[in-house]
DNA sequence: CGATGAATTCAACGGTAGATGAATTCTGAG
DNA sequence: CTCAGAATTCATCTACCGTTGAATTCATCG
């Protein structure tokens, strides 16, 4: 690569500090209520600089989400293992990710999806293609039941995320992850493998 | 040229048409994104008229919610009956309310609570004082376990509402209520009455 | 009829938002 | 040192927002 004349991209500190401020702000307020002006303020920077680096708010959001969300390894790891403990492994994976540093990005996507249409589509596609489709093939026996079973699993996991991280309902918000794994895992397991009610068995 | 200014004959029910437009708009967009200007537009009315009738946006929201949300009869009815079917009755009650005309108001409160602090407080107080506290006394044996059990129940019900009514995930959104009652009820029952994991039994 | 007052609209204020393009500062290559 | 070009800022534009007060119309009462 030929070095062209001019200032080197040496000071990319500000670029990442914008990204950090954006991640925190999106996680705390969701896509709509997080403002570029506020993010720029948190990063100690002029709002126009955000546009200079990221183009617009949508691209900034995507840039924030691109880095940390990479479930290539985690998901298969959560799916392998005793089939009758898959429920526990799924909820444990969710809690582990959300309590980790990358959890801010996950919370940002989730919170945004609850109040914004295009981020909701983003989340749906991500969940469907990256998580549920794999889980369906690995764990659920009858393919015809997979959509309903995975959707039911999604209700329990989404509800846990809403209560613990969005609404911060006690004692859930302060509970140890393993407590929730032990309490919620079996219910997810039931959605995965136990017989569905007969009323569902009609096309 | 039609003069559009000033009092127009006949229409005495503009107040209710504002309320209807507001209920629909709050349910669809939540408190923050629903605008008084948009509501007034849907009602075919000047925005200032909304203020004339309801004072401000907060009071309009409360006026919309005041009428249909009156759980005085429904809740006791859902709690009375065989104890081992309380889970099914709870999720059935939720689905019944949300699928009824009053459901728009419930959805408005819920959706707003997910992205707005003071509506979240409103929902929490309502849920705690009107629903959970009664359920705790009637169904849960050990009072010490009541907070965790009711919170777990809340995760499953809130998750169902999020998936079915907010994110509109299929096949949940189109499922018959009784299918969901049969599928989800037993899991709520488990949160209510089956033993909690030992890991929880330490203060 | 004229007066009253409620129903309704108009125009405007102050605020925040995302976005844009020109102007300025800085830095390193030649 | 010079100077191009990247980094950064400034001043604005447009578009909504909730809210307000004054102005208009009109049904009704005396």
Q: pLDDT tens digits, residue range A39-71?
A: 999 999 999 999 999 999 999 999 998 866 666
Is A2 contained in some domain?
no
Residue A103 sits in the same domain as residue A170? yes
- Does B181 lie in the same domain as B89? yes
Residue A5 pLDDT greater than 50, yes or no: no
Give the residue from A172, A171, A16 showing the smallest Cα distance to A98.
A172
Per the structure block, which two tokens stand in for A158? 């989404």
Same domain, A97 and A20: no
Look over chain A and give the mean of its residue pLDDT values, rounded to a whole number.
85
| A5 assigned to some structural domain | no
pLDDT at A9 over 90: no
- Structural domain including A97 reads 71-201
A104 and A183 share one domain? yes
Same domain, B35 and B79: no
pLDDT of residue A198: 65
Angle (nearest 5°) at CA B77 between B72 and B78: 105
Read off the pTM. 0.85
What residues in chain B have per-residue pLDDT under 70?
1-12, 67-72, 198-203
User: Do B41 and B77 lie in a common domain?
Assistant: no
Burial class (CB in 10 A: 0-12, 13-18, 19+), A20: middle
Q: Is the residue at B135 inside a domain?
A: yes
Q: Tell me what pLDDT residue A147 has.
A: 87
Contact A182 B167 (CB under 8 A): no
Cα A145-A84-B200 angle, rounded to 5 deg: 115
Contact state of B175 with A148 under an 8 Å Cβ cutoff? yes
Tokens describing residue A16: 């990442």
Same domain as A127, residue A108: yes
Q: With the CA atoms of B101, B103, B109 and B114 taken in that order, what torsion angle do they form, in degrees rounded to the nearest 10?
A: -140
Q: Which nucleotide is nearest to A47 (CA to C1')?
A: D9
**How far is residue B142's CA from residue B192's CA, in Å, rounded to a whole number?**
10
Give pLDDT, residue B199: 55
Strands (E), A63-192: none
In chain B, residues with a C-beta closer than 8 Å to the C-beta of A152 are 172, 183-184
What is the helix, strand, coil percentage profile of chain A, to 5? 70, 0, 30
Q: B56 and B114: one domain?
A: no
Q: Is the confidence at residue A2, as pLDDT, over 50?
A: no
Distances (CA, A) of B11 to B6, B28, B44: 12, 26, 12
| pLDDT of A11 | 60
| Residue B84 counted as domain residue | yes
B144/B108 same-domain check: yes
Alpha-helix runs per DSSP H in chain B: 14-33, 36-42, 47-54, 57-66, 74-79, 86-99, 103-113, 117-126, 133-139, 146-161, 177-193
Same domain, A47 and A89: no
The CATH number of whichever domain residue B47 belongs to comes to: 1.10.10.60
pLDDT at A1 over 70: no
Nearest CA in chain B to A27: B115
Query: Residue A102 has what pLDDT?
Result: 82
Question: How far is Cα A98 from Cα A106, in angstroms, rounded to an integer?
Answer: 7
Instruction: Decide if B156 and A154 are in contact by the 8 Å CB cutoff.
Output: no
The answer as to whether B125 is a domain residue is yes
| Rounded CA separation A96/A185 (Å) | 14
Shared-domain flag, residues B47 and B108: no
The contacts of residue B198 (CB under 8 Å, 6+ apart) are none
Residue B195 belongs to a domain with what CATH number? Answer: 1.10.357.10
Predicted confidence (pLDDT) at residue A200 exceeds the cutoff of 70: no
């Amino acid at each position: 690569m030929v070095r062209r004349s001019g200032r080197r991209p040496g000071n990319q500190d500000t670029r990442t500090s914008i990204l950090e401020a954006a991640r925190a702000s999106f996680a705390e307020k969701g896509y709509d209520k997080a403002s570029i002006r506020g993010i720029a303020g948190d990063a100690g920077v002029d709002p126009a600089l955000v546009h200079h680096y990221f183009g617009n708010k949508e691209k900034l959001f995507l840039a924030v989400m691109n880095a940390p969300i990479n479930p290539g390894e985690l998901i298969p790891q959560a799916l392998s293992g005793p089939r009758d403990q898959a429920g526990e492994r799924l909820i444990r994976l969710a809690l582990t990710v959300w309590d980790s540093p990358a959890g801010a990005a996950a919370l940002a996507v989730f919170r945004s999806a609850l109040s914004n249409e295009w981020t909701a589509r983003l989340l749906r596609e991500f969940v469907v293609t990256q998580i549920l489709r794999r889980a369906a093939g690995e764990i659920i026996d009858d393919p015809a039941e997979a959509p309903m079973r995975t959707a039911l699993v999604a209700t329990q996991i989404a509800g846990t995320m809403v209560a613990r991280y969005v609404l911060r309902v006690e004692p859930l918000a302060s509970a140890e992850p393993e407590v929730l794994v032990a309490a919620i895992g079996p219910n997810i397991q039931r959605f995965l493998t136990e017989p569905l009610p007969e009323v569902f068995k009609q096309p």
